[in-house]
Chain A
Amino acid sequence: MSRLTEPAGVLEASPLKVAAHNARRLGSSVLITNDAGEHAMLKPADYERYLGGAFESSDLIRKDFIRDRHDFGHLAVRAVPRHLLDWKGPNVHTVVVTLRCNFKCLYCHASVVGIEQTDKDMTVETAKAVVDLIFQSPSPTLMIEFQGGEPLLNWPVVKFIVQYAKEKNKHHKRALHFGLISNFSLLDDAKIDFLIAHGVSFCTSLDGPKDLHDKNRIYLGGNSHASVLEGLRKVVAKKAAGAKTDTPNAICTVTRHSLGRAPEIVDQLVALGLERIQFGPLDPIGFAKKSWDTIGYTSAEFVEFYSNALDYIIDLNKKGVKAYEKMTLIFMVRILEGGHWRFPNADGVARLAYNHDGAVYTCEEGRLLANEGDEFFKIGQAGESSFTDLLDHPTVRASLLASHGGAQPMCFQCAYNPFCSVLPVYNQDTQGSVFGRMPDNGWCEKMMGLFDVVFTKLQDPEARKILESWLEYKSR
């Protein structure tokens, strides 16, 4: 399907009746969307009548597609959160406590160092400065995510950050959450007990069946796949025994080796009792660019994988199996409820990343780019910069402008604009500027393909009912 916006069937729109909107032909329907994040599906003939000012319905009026029936209060209520006009600062804080790793994953190994290189660990002093900076964000919710390298290799600092943040929070009174993103190879009972006791959620990477996982994620000292399963089972067992913790999450990074194997991957995760399926597409940025020839794929290939996986998960739902796909859930919330829920990619404003040495980046991808020598997304230093220094950095403003679809060629005409996320790091690394060049931008191609899949599924009543039911997972 063409990514370029098709001209409307009728070029002259009725100025009093037709409100500002974007349109995209999808199969036998025309999808229309507006800046409030509302959408409607029309038959092509009805769309032409709508453009001519001769078609309106209560649904179109309610969703502000009829210009002389605008409800500006409703428009404002929808548009304010969508543009983050009421967003209270970064809530997701990725803390890289070490660059050391005991794995040598195909898409990651260039960004980590060997386990003996302890000078790439975050010090306790730096960790304190990072936590102090995090708490300067006015966000009522703070999520501190531990990443690496393998974060458990610097366990004392993980523990310190949890303990110190909780002490600070007795006075700040935020909704404070922690997440550990780990390969689980070093996860023993003592660590699990500490993490559960302090409300830290668990997330790992599981790329699918053993042969696929082990091909992608090479464990320098053992069995990669087995160690992940062992860690997952330990946490699940603790939960089953009454421990107060969420079911652990497992993200599947999709490489070229994964294409065509969506059902097997889904089966693996479901068999472990995990309801959440989450696919992480690879992008040709940072270190992954170096191995792109062997593990990469086109945007169209990923979209096909995603479509097959979604079909399979929907079929499982029809058979009574509880499972949902995380990226689809994010899309569904944005499409059906509005606003920007989870990771709007407003780098620097919605999320921040902290390297082991205290350097602060607009996002984790920006930090990874710095490993390749491009420090464009570095916006400060814990212990030296204040939170307002970070927001005042020109890179943050440039990234926000680049993320705002209203100013982007092609985005401003795109029907998916209200629901999409832009990744300025991707644009910078692949096309030389944070603004990018959408007509030949791989991220844009992927996102449009994914939205084509989701909106096509939404036209099927049975699939729509299942996708709508996934909204119950939003609060988990």
Chain B
Amino acid sequence: MILSKKIYSMDAVRISAQVLSSKVNVYLDETKTAFEVTLEAKRKDAGPEQLAALEGEFGNELLNQEYRFIVGRFNSKISALIVTQTLMAARGGETPAAAPAAESTPEFKKLVADLMKNAEAEVARTMPRKIPHQGTPLPPIKEDAGV
């Protein structure tokens, strides 16, 4: 593919190559006015149809990336601000609440230890599991629900 430098940036070519790296190897050369891109399908048995589709997908991705740069010029700052604020809110603000002190008491720790002990005993008791319905059909039920 010959890509005019008037339309496509090196960044767009590189990002597109990265995005499609699971499908194609991308070889790049350049002249003063254009990028020369050679695509090699990673699937060795790719036929002409698949190769054409990959070329089209690469072209779509190039346009997508160039378009992204344009959108970014308008909106990247506000998007970054919003995402930062969202992350800050999600962590509970600048000073997230500490764990309740009651969780450090010996009583609570004993209660948790007992719960764990009981659960582990039940795991030990029921392993390997017996599957109640395994191998035996369920009793017939009245199929009155439109079935």
Q: Which residues of A contact B (CB under 8 A)?
A: 83-90, 102, 115-116, 118, 121, 123-125, 127-128, 135-136, 138, 153, 155-157, 159-160, 163-164, 167-168, 170-172, 185-186, 188, 209-210, 219-223, 225-227, 229-230, 233, 264, 267-268, 271-272, 346, 349, 387-388, 391, 396-397, 400-401, 404, 406-410, 412, 431-433, 435, 437-440
- Give residues of chain B (70-96) contacting chain A, Cβ–Cβ below 8 Å: 70-72, 74-76, 78-80, 82-83, 85-87, 89-93, 96
Q: How far is the CA of A168 from the CA of B68 in the complex (A)?
A: 46
Q: Pick the contact of A167: B19, B67, B115, B132 (CB < 8 A).
A: B115
Asked whether, in the complex, the Cβ of A164 is within 8 Å of the Cβ of B115, the reply is yes
Q: How far is the CA of A209 from the CA of B144 in the complex (A)?
A: 11
Q: How far is the CA of A228 from the CA of B82 in the complex (A)?
A: 44
17 A–B contacts, CB within 8 A, in A order: A83-B82, A89-B92, A160-B118, A167-B111, A167-B112, A168-B103, A185-B133, A222-B133, A226-B138, A346-B86, A407-B71, A408-B68, A409-B68, A412-B74, A432-B18, A432-B20, A439-B60
Asked whether, in the complex, the Cβ of A404 is within 8 Å of the Cβ of B19, the reply is no
Q: How far is the CA of A226 from the CA of B141 in the complex (A)?
A: 7
Asked whether, in the complex, the Cβ of A171 is within 8 Å of the Cβ of B102, the reply is yes
Q: How far is the CA of A437 from the CA of B108 in the complex (A)?
A: 51
B147 at the interface (CB under 8 A from A): yes
Chain A hits for B128, CB < 8 A: 116, 118
Closest residue on chain A to residue B76 by CB atoms: A407
Q: Pick the contact of B123: A86, A124, A268, A433 (CB < 8 A).
A: A124
Q: Pick the contact of B86: A124, A349, A435 (CB < 8 A).
A: A349
Q: How far is the CA of A267 from the CA of B21 in the complex (A)?
A: 47
Asked whether, in the complex, the Cβ of B131 is within 8 Å of the Cβ of A186, the reply is yes
Asked whether, in the complex, the Cβ of B82 is within 8 Å of the Cβ of A391, the reply is no
**Chain B count of residues within 8 A CB distance of the other chain:** 65
Q: How many A-B residue pairs have CB under 8 A?
A: 187
Q: Which residues of B contact A (CB under 8 A)?
A: 18-23, 60-61, 64, 67-68, 70-72, 74-76, 78-80, 82-83, 85-87, 89-93, 96-97, 99-100, 102-103, 108, 111-112, 115-116, 118-120, 122-123, 126-129, 131-138, 140-141, 143-147
Q: How far is the CA of A136 from the CA of B71 in the complex (A)?
A: 36
> 13 other contacts beyond A210-B143, A227-B138, A432-B23, with CB at 8 A cut-off?
A85-B89, A87-B90, A88-B89, A89-B90, A135-B99, A153-B129, A155-B122, A186-B133, A221-B136, A222-B138, A388-B91, A391-B90, A437-B60
Q: Pick the contact of B119: A118, A157, A271, A272 (CB < 8 A).
A: A157
Asked whether, in the complex, the Cβ of A160 is within 8 Å of the Cβ of B87, the reply is no
Q: How far is the CA of A241 from the CA of B54 in the complex (A)?
A: 61
Asked whether, in the complex, the Cβ of B119 is within 8 Å of the Cβ of A406, the reply is no
Interface of A is mostly: helix
Q: How far is the CA of A86 from the CA of B82 in the complex (A)?
A: 11
Asked whether, in the complex, the Cβ of A400 is within 8 Å of the Cβ of B116, the reply is no
Chain B hits for A409, CB < 8 A: 64, 67-68, 70-71
Asked whether, in the complex, the Cβ of A272 is within 8 Å of the Cβ of B145, the reply is yes
Chain B hits for A410, CB < 8 A: 67
Q: How far is the CA of A408 from the CA of B83 in the complex (A)?
A: 14
Q: How far is the CA of A88 from the CA of B87 in the complex (A)?
A: 9
Asked whether, in the complex, the Cβ of A124 is within 8 Å of the Cβ of B72, the reply is no
Q: Pick the contact of A406: B64, B82, B93, B133 (CB < 8 A).
A: B82
Q: How far is the CA of A168 from the CA of B75 in the complex (A)?
A: 43
Q: How far is the CB of A390 from chain B (nearest CB, A)?
A: 9
Q: How far is the CB of A404 from chain B (nearest CB, A)?
A: 5
Q: Pick the contact of B112: A121, A128, A233, A404 (CB < 8 A).
A: A128
